[in-house]
Amino acid sequence: MSDHIDPKKLDRLAEVAVRIGVNLRKGQDLVITAPTDALPLVQRIAVHAYKAGAGLVIPLFSDDQITLARYQHAPDESFDRAPDWMFEAMGKAFEGGAARMAIASEDPLLLADIDPDKVARASKAQSIARQPAMKPIVGFEVNWNIVAYPGAAWAKTVYPDLPVAEAQGKLMDAIYDASRLAGDDPVANWEAHTAELKKRVNWLNAQKFDALHYTGPGTDLMLGLAEGHIWKGGASPALNGITCQPNIPTEEVFTCPHAYRVDGRVSATKPLAHQGTVIRDISVRFEAGKIVEASASEGEDVFRDLLKVDDGASRIGEVALVPHSSPISQSGTLFYNTLFDENASCHIALGQSYADTVEGGSELAPEELKQKGANQSLIHVDWMMGSDAVDIDGVTKTGERVPVMRSGEWAN
Ligand code: ZN
Ligand code: ZN
């Protein structure tokens, strides 16, 4: 581990991830997926998990160099395969009551020089195989959490002018601040923050908007909301009854858009780091919910391939509001990691919706969810389209307009 990473900060991150993030229960197993880079954090998480009474802590590691070795040397057939047996085992673990934790620390540029066709094939095979492990997560059946570790390559991308060990130390500090861990009592920080998010959620739910209208540079978008959509944000109970904080950090309130009622043009306000490629200056046009035109100044091939994964990949499944004054946005740092960048900006996600953002959604069949406008896809990719130049109006069923955001801030 870089000796610039403050071990006290690392330990607090691990403790908060276990106690507030996943809120692990006595006797509960914990499945952790992490890059080998993040081993020091996983070790601290294991300590706090067992102190909290974990049954078994099961880490499953990936490794950037091994991933690269595959893209450079594996036979062509390799790129249409994924370890379905592993994802089935993970699905079984969740069915049996295990909680889930993921550590984000990937190199945003890992696959920048790899043939995008190989990347698209491998990621499609992965998305299909991973369904048994993802279903309990998107359906919010189990308590889960994702936190970040300042991996070397990631840190170097964020702070290219610093020596790598120093960059990691600085990224640790940024993760610590963004994750609201500073001060004497991070638990109290998170309680206050959750209360603030709930206030916004309650206001938005009371409005029962039919659509949101976004205007800004390169953006004029009428975004319909799903029938019976529910705004969510901050900690909430999973179907197993355990209240968890899925993302650390989190600044968003979000809900389910209508997959067939989105029209107009929208331009991204930040680059999107997606599976080892950075996609810049995305601009798309929607017609009846489907993206019919798409461009990007960099990574356009990767973006177009992503839209082709399935029918739902060119429609949206999440809409989220984040004020421009959020601490991550104010830090001015571009993280090249969605967990952070999406929490600095209003965003939408291509692909799969969250069943629990529609009233009674967890009990509805896929066909019923679709009728309400909830999108279905193998992918879920968030991209950022908010800034201090974007205004948002809520539009009611009768066409009345209510200001929701002005110049990137809450209008009330
Ligand atoms: Zn989001
Ligand atoms: Zn999302």
Per-residue pLDDT, 382: 94
Quick one: residue 180, left, alpha or beta (phi over 0 = left, psi -120 to 50 = alpha)? left
> What are the DSSP E strand ranges found in 21-156?
30-35, 57-62, 99-104, 144-148
Give yes or no for residue 363 having a pLDDT over 90: no
C-alpha to C-alpha distance for 55 and 60, rounded to whole angstroms: 16
* Burial class of 183 by CB neighbour count within 10 A (0 to 12, 13 to 18, 19+): exposed
pLDDT at position 245 is 95
Separation of alpha carbons 166 and 2, rounded Å: 8
**What is the mean pLDDT of the segment spanning 280-301?**
96
CA dihedral 106, 144, 26, 182 (to 10 degrees): 60
How many Cβ atoms sit within 10 Å of the Cβ of residue 38?
Answer: 26
Output the pLDDT for position 276.
Answer: 82
**In the predicted structure, residue 410 carries a pLDDT above the cut 90:** yes
Per-residue confidence at 112, pLDDT binned at 50, 70, 90? confident
CB 344 within 8 A of CB 109: no
Distance from the alpha carbon of residue 70 to the mean position of ligand 1, in angstroms: 31
Ligand nearest to the CA of 316: 2
Ligand nearest to the CA of 385: 1
Q: What is the mean pLDDT of residues 13-21?
A: 96
User: Cα–Cα distance between 292 and 285 in angstroms, integer?
Assistant: 6
d(CA 344, ligand 2 centre) in Å: 13
User: What's the rounded Cα separation, in Å, for the pair 215 and 222?
Assistant: 9
- Average pLDDT of the residues in 387-410: 96
Tell me what pLDDT residue 412 has: 81
CA of 252 to the centre of ligand 2 (A): 10
Q: pLDDT (tens digit, 9 = 90+) per residue, 264-287?
A: 999 999 999 888 889 999 999 999
**CA of residue 16 to ligand 2 center, whole Å:** 22
Judged by DSSP in three states, 358 sits in strand
Contacts (Cβ under 8 Å, ≥6 apart) of 70: 78, 122
Pairing of strands 57-62, 30-35: parallel
- 318-337 tens-digit pLDDT: 999 999 988 899 888 989 99
Of the listed ligands, the closest to the CA of 354 is: 2
pTM passes above 0.75: yes
Closest ligand to residue 350's CA: 2
Tens digits of per-residue pLDDT, 120-163?
Answer: 899 999 999 999 999 999 889 999 999 999 999 999 999 999 99
pLDDT of residue 187: 87
Which of 56-65, 215-224, 268-277, 300-309 is the least confident region? 268-277
Q: Is the link from the previous residue into 237 a cis peptide, with omega within 30 of 0? A: no
Distance 351 CA to ligand 2 centre (A): 9
Question: Ligand 2: distance of its center to the CA of 4 in Å?
Answer: 31
Question: Ligand 2 centroid to 163 CA: how many Å?
Answer: 32
Ligand nearest to C-alpha 255: 1
Report d(CA 97, CA 164) in Å as an integer: 40
Confidence label for 2 from pLDDT (cuts 50, 70 and 90): confident
What percent of the chain is predicted at pLDDT more than 70?
Answer: 100
For residue 252, name the pLDDT band (cuts at 50, 70, 90). very high
Please give the distance, rounded to the nearest whole angstrom, from the Cα atom of residue 110 to the centre of ligand 2: 22
For 392-405, what is the mean pLDDT? 97
Mean pLDDT of the chain: 95
So what's the pLDDT on residue 277? 85
